[in-house]
Structure 1
Amino acid sequence: MPAVITSRQNSRVRALRAALAGRGEDGAIGVESPHLVREALQTHEAEVLAVFVREDRTELLADLPAEIEQVVLSREVFASVAATEHSQGMAALVTRPTMRFLPRPGQLLLLLDKVQDPGNVGTLVRSAEAFGAAAVLATEGTADVWNGKALRASAGAAFRMPVVRWSETLRAAVQKLGTRMLAAVADEDGALAATDANLGGGCVLVIGNEGRGVSPELLAVADGRITLPMAGPTESLNAAVAGSVLLYEAARQRRAGAR
């Protein structure tokens, strides 16, 4: 069993603190909780550099691969680096995953257009995986999926779902495949209710910024606009809720089409 580190200035402690704060050296990210550490260990897209446990949770080190560095921290030191209020006593340093994505005909894709809240981004990545999307695309200005809050909200889906940067090259590639781009908007003239739109074929569902919606640039190149009609006076839904409902509707239509 490794010796317990009691200094907050220890080099490994500083490395973990920086990574959990989003300032990891060489792009390293910090993950916290036994669940997320297990997800990181299972992915082929990243390398777990070191696993840290609080001194009262050393049982969590059982069955770890021998080649992974194991670090035990005192309660006080672990608390000084933990990003969550009620930590479960386990964290890890992980290389930033490199996710690969190849556009194909018929895919369901989710495009996040400057979605700034990390919790919304993580939730949408989780929903995208749950409802069968092939990838999550993100414009510049969208919160980093490897932000700690986003990663926790994804519940580990970020280690499996490709999240790739949107570009004109990618737009041209999906357009060439006949994939339609459908922008989610608040209820307005010319927007189809999601249940009336065809979400069964290849399509990109565009979810806009929490305050401003889909950008004019993407609206200009979208093939259509879809909306979620409201029964009450609410004008719009939270970005994560709206995106999740649209993903569910797309999955429902696809299942119906398969039958």
Structure 2
Amino acid sequence: MAGTDRRQEGVAGPAPAVILVKPQMGENIGAAARAMRNFGLRELRLVAPRDGWPNEKAVASASGADDILATAQVFATTAEALGDLHLVLATTARDRDMVKPVITPRTAAAQARTALAGGQKVGLMFGAERMGLENDDVALADSLVQIPADPAFASLNLGQAVLILGYEWRLLEDVRPDAMLRLGDSVPATRGQLIGLFEQLEAELDEADFLKPPEKRPTMVRNLRNLFERAGLTTQEVQTLRGVVRALVGRRQRIGNNIR
């Protein structure tokens, strides 16, 4: 549908980042960038794109959204791409064996606007074309976003999925949140801060031989991460928990030294 008017000012103000995890085809990245540009989403993050970056096929299918591609950031891992974000919403069409809120695109847009209005950084995460997001990626998200497609044919390509969430985001442009999250002197922890806590705790649990047998370790780790994700920890709370882990480890080491 035609309708681009270069004389008009684009949508301004804070908006969610779009994270494409292991996208396979440049054409789909370009289509996603075009959808982002349609609805005022400007920040694109790519995690390990299969065909490398930059990609000429992405430019050809972006239909003028070259500025989105030109400023796209590339990351080696999902954890790195999410590191500075406070709220992460992961899109998926499949049921997951995890305890996480499942929300609609409209609810996701409302949550994103409330978080951004409170000074937080937000990300919308999309998986690869064939299999979607891996469970380890989903475990880093706060909620799962499911588009209410026909369950007999629920698969969408990247451009379509980004378009739907972008539309819901833009639809709420003139809606102001009734209430903002008040956290005193603290703010929600970023994904990087949470991952730091996860890695510290998991390393000490490995040292204590808790995460075994080895074949069950990945599931145990995901369950622990999901538990803390649901808690909605603040920066201060993460720092406190990391201090708790250090204190417990220090006590264990002192006891061990006294025994020897």
TM-score by length of 1: 0.51
Contact 2:24–2:50, Cα closer than 8 Å, also in 1 = yes
Matched, 1:163 2:76: no
After superposition, what is the alpha-carbon deviation per residue over 1:62-85, rounded to whole angstroms, capped at 9, x for unaligned? xxxxxxxxxxxxxxxxxxxxxxxx
What one-letter code is carried by the residue in structure 1 that aligns with 2:82?
Answer: R
3-state secondary structure, aligned to 1:204: strand
Alignment counterpart, residue 88 of structure 2, candidates 148, 168, 181: 181
Cα distance in 1, alignment partners of residues 149 and 130 from structure 2: 18
Distance of aligned partners of 1:187 and 1:199 in 2 relative to their CA distance in 1, 3 Å threshold:
farther
After superposition, what is the alpha-carbon deviation per residue over 1:105-155, rounded to whole angstroms, capped at 9, x for unaligned? 953110000111111100111111221123100001344453222111012
Tell me how many residue pairs correspond in the alignment.
151
Contact 2:43–2:68, Cα closer than 8 Å, also in 1 = no
Q: 1:199 matched to which residue of 2?
A: 112
Alignment counterpart, residue 107 of structure 1, candidates 15, 18, 40: 15
3-state secondary structure, aligned to 1:133: coil
Distance of aligned partners of 1:248 and 1:220 in 2 relative to their CA distance in 1, 3 Å threshold:
same
Matched, 1:151 2:80: no
What one-letter code is carried by the residue in structure 1 that aligns with 2:72?
Answer: V
Alignment counterpart, residue 172 of structure 1, candidates 83, 86, 89: 83
Distance of aligned partners of 1:127 and 1:145 in 2 relative to their CA distance in 1, 3 Å threshold:
farther
* Paired-residue identity, %: 21
Structure number with higher strand proportion: 1
Relative contact order higher in (CA < 8 Å, ≥ 6 apart): 2
Cα distance in 2, alignment partners of residues 165 and 109 from structure 1: 13
After superposition, what is the alpha-carbon deviation per residue over 1:35-93, rounded to whole angstroms, capped at 9, x for unaligned? xxxxxxxxxxxxxxxxxxxxxxxxxxxxxxxxxxxxxxxxxxxxxxxxxxxxxxxxxxx
What one-letter code is carried by the residue in structure 2 that aligns with 1:230?
Answer: A
Q: Unaligned 5+ residue runs, structure 1?
A: 1-104
What one-letter code is carried by the residue in structure 2 that aligns with 1:129?
Answer: R
What one-letter code is carried by the residue in structure 1 that aligns with 2:102?
Answer: A
3-state secondary structure, aligned to 1:199: helix
Offset, 1:222: 0.8
Contact 2:23–2:48, Cα closer than 8 Å, also in 1 = no
Distance of aligned partners of 1:170 and 1:214 in 2 relative to their CA distance in 1, 3 Å threshold:
closer
Q: 1:209 matched to which residue of 2?
A: 128
Contact 1:108–1:204, Cα closer than 8 Å, also in 2 = yes
Q: Unaligned 5+ residue runs, structure 2?
A: 1-12, 178-260
Structure number with higher helix proportion: 2
Contact 2:34–2:62, Cα closer than 8 Å, also in 1 = yes
Alignment of 1:45-194 (within 5 A): 106-144=14-52, 146-161=54-69, 162-166=71-75, 168-174=79-85, 178=86, 180-186=87-93, 188=95, 190-194=101-105
Q: Which moved more, 1:111-120 or 1:135-144?
A: 135-144
Alignment of 1:223-234 (within 5 A): 223-231=142-150, 233-234=152-153
Distance of aligned partners of 1:183 and 1:170 in 2 relative to their CA distance in 1, 3 Å threshold:
closer
Cα distance in 1, alignment partners of residues 50 and 66 from structure 2: 15
Distance of aligned partners of 1:145 and 1:241 in 2 relative to their CA distance in 1, 3 Å threshold:
farther
Offset, 1:211: 1.0
